[in-house]
Amino acid sequence: MSDIKITIIDREGEAHHVEAPTDMNMNLMEVVRMHELAPEGTIGICGGMAMCASCQCYILSHEHLLPEKSYEEEDMLDQAFFVEDNSRLGCQIPIISELEGLEVKLAPEST
């Protein structure tokens, strides 16, 4: 077991302090789904291929420790709404031990 603790602020503004495993090849979008912090069907629609922006979130800490955006992620964020400078797609952020204490906020659901 190697879990890290991260804080996820849901779309209603409520902060959740949750555990995220680093040894299960998980990404941030999957952690949000695992803890059911956004209704099914409103997050991870494409399954994690960076082909929708339903897992967009704002990174509030550890930004320098995240992997660079891939072309696909850049591209998708480019099509998304409510994009800020700290926007990332949760599905492109692998859960690694360095992210202990990470804080993120889910972007609004785009309709």
Candidate ranges 11-19, 22-30, 51-59, 88-96; the one touching another protein (CB under 8 A): 51-59
C-alpha–C-alpha distance, residues 69 and 11, integer Å: 23
User: Interface mask (CB under 8 A) for another protein, residues 59-88, using x and -?
Assistant: ----------------x--xx-xxx-----
Candidate ranges 12-20, 21-29, 59-67, 103-111; the one touching another protein (CB under 8 A): 103-111
C-alpha–C-alpha distance, residues 68 and 37, integer Å: 25
- Minimum CB distance to another protein, residue 36 (Å): 8
User: Interface mask (CB under 8 A) for another protein, residues 28-47, using x and -?
Assistant: -----------xxxx--xx-
- Minimum CB distance to another protein, residue 105 (Å): 17
Question: Counting contacts by CB under 8 A, is residue 49 touching another protein?
Answer: yes
